[in-house]
Amino acid sequence: MPELAPFAVGQHNSRGRRLFEHAPSGRTEFQRDRDRIIHSTAFRRLEYKTQVFVNHEGDLFRTRLTHSLEVAQIGRTVARSLGLNEDLVEAIALAHDLGHTPFGHAGQDTLNACMKDHGGFEHNLQSLRVVDKLEERYAEFDGLNLCFETREGILKHCSLANAAKLGEVGERFLLKQQPSLEAQLTNLADEIAYNNHDVDDGLRSGLIDIGALSGISIFARHLEEAQRAYPALTERRMIHETVRRMIGTLVTDLIQQTRANIAVVNPETLADIRSGGELAGFSPEVRTEQQELKQFLRLNLYQHYRVARMTTKAQRIVRELFEAFMETPRLLPPQYQEKARGDKARAIADYIAGMTDRYAIIEYRRLFSVEETG
């Protein structure tokens, strides 16, 4: 690994694991975290969970798995270039969406509404719950026993009420402190990844078109650049040449602006990063362009009537599953029935949140269709 900046997370300044384990040989503690995440059940399920497009709508769209890989790729590039801990960034990126429900935000919002009187449901908190508790693989502990810095990065946002219950990993929300720079930049790598792949998937699905996107400055200027370089290119390749340029611009801007922010503040240690302001960021110009693109995607893609139809179906599936299990816990698989003898609503939320899109659809049919069984 190239030499790390003095304020990067390393083994010397890590707060370590909740349960002590001997250091791994042949890999760093954060590589071990990454490896545990990749081998987890929740990670494999990301393949069949989606954000905007539901899995069976087409094989070409991003899933949460390919999204997480793209976040890791972008994040590692930025981390390496700034002398930060690439392994930590990769671990956070691969784990950041583990707690997502089926059907993207529609599923999350519905489950949160169902859990209103039972402590609510937040996907960031659920991702942490997956790695701290829900994975049942190791003899000595529940969860994956990850390092503090990986857990801190997974918990991007959190309500103050929940932060107060989380102990060490929730403290920064109460103290208004920052997480590591690695966590900060992974969050922005996430934003770069989803804005760009939603443009790409949105165009491929036909829900948005190049004409409408040409009014959006960040897309327009990179499209022009690609057209100037390759006037005769087919549309499919032109879109890719545009999107790769947008990603390139955003990654370069993130590196340059963050480097400039670091130069102003001149942090010497990881403690300086935590107690200072947010250092990872885009330049004001690029930030404005990103906002414009996000607004466009919200109005034209996320609120498109065809997406809205699926959203409504997703809400119905999640809500009706939740209600049926609450009313009749005997419908749950045996291991969840046992958990439901404690906090019933939370056990049901964990079961539903763990479902893939297609599993939720199958489970819905099993419970509500008289024709199909099995």
Between 97 and 350, name the residue whose CB sits nearer to Mg ion. Answer: 97
* CB count in 10 Å sphere of residue 341: 10
Tokens for 17, please give them.
Answer: 């694991």
Going by C-alpha positions, the residue among 12, 301, 71 that lies closest to residue 193 is: 71
The secondary structure of residue 13, as a DSSP letter, is T
Between 10 and 102, name the residue whose CB sits nearer to Mg ion. Answer: 102
Between 109 and 190, name the residue whose CB sits nearer to Mg ion. Answer: 190
Measure the CA–CA gap between 75 and 185, rounded to whole angstroms. Answer: 7
Site string for Mg ion, 226-265 (x = CB under 5 A): ----------------------------------------
Between 68 and 162, name the residue whose CB sits nearer to Mg ion. Answer: 68
Contacts of 111 (CB under 8 A, 6+ apart): 101, 121, 318, 322, 349, 352, 353
Is 313 within 8 Å of 57 (Cβ atoms)? no
CB 153, min distance to Mg ion, A: 12
CB 224, min distance to Mg ion, A: 29
The string of DSSP letters for 204-219 reads HHTSS-HHHHTTSHHH
Question: In the chain, which ranges are continuous DSSP H helix?
Answer: 29-38, 41-45, 64-82, 86-95, 104-114, 123-129, 148-154, 160-165, 171-175, 181-205, 210-213, 217-229, 235-265, 270-275, 284-297, 305-327, 334-340, 344-354, 357-368
Between 86 and 190, name the residue whose CB sits nearer to Mg ion. Answer: 190
* 70 belongs to the binding site for Mg ion (CB under 5 A): no
- Window contacting Mg ion (CB under 5 A); options: 1-9, 103-111, 140-148, 190-198: 190-198
Going by C-alpha positions, the residue among 357, 364, 362, 313 that lies closest to residue 48 is: 357
CB 97, min distance to Mg ion, A: 5
CB 253, min distance to Mg ion, A: 19
Closest chain position to Mg ion (CB): 190
CB 303, min distance to Mg ion, A: 19
Between 122 and 190, name the residue whose CB sits nearer to Mg ion. Answer: 190
Among 70, 86, 182, 190, binds Mg ion (CB under 5 A): 190
Going by C-alpha positions, the residue among 169, 130, 167 that lies closest to residue 147 is: 169
CB 52, min distance to Mg ion, A: 12
Is 19 within 8 Å of 140 (Cβ atoms)? yes
Between 97 and 149, name the residue whose CB sits nearer to Mg ion. Answer: 97
Is 67 within 8 Å of 61 (Cβ atoms)? no
Going by C-alpha positions, the residue among 190, 216, 209 that lies closest to residue 288 is: 216
Between 97 and 109, name the residue whose CB sits nearer to Mg ion. Answer: 97
Tokens for 218, please give them.
Answer: 């960040």
- Window contacting Mg ion (CB under 5 A); options: 78-86, 154-162, 184-192, 286-294: 184-192
- Window contacting Mg ion (CB under 5 A); options: 111-119, 168-176, 188-196, 341-349: 188-196
CB 190, min distance to Mg ion, A: 4
Span 75-114, contacts to Mg ion by CB under 5 A: 97
CB 194, min distance to Mg ion, A: 6
Site string for Mg ion, 140-169 (x = CB under 5 A): ------------------------------
> Applying CB under 5 A, which residues contact Mg ion?
97, 190
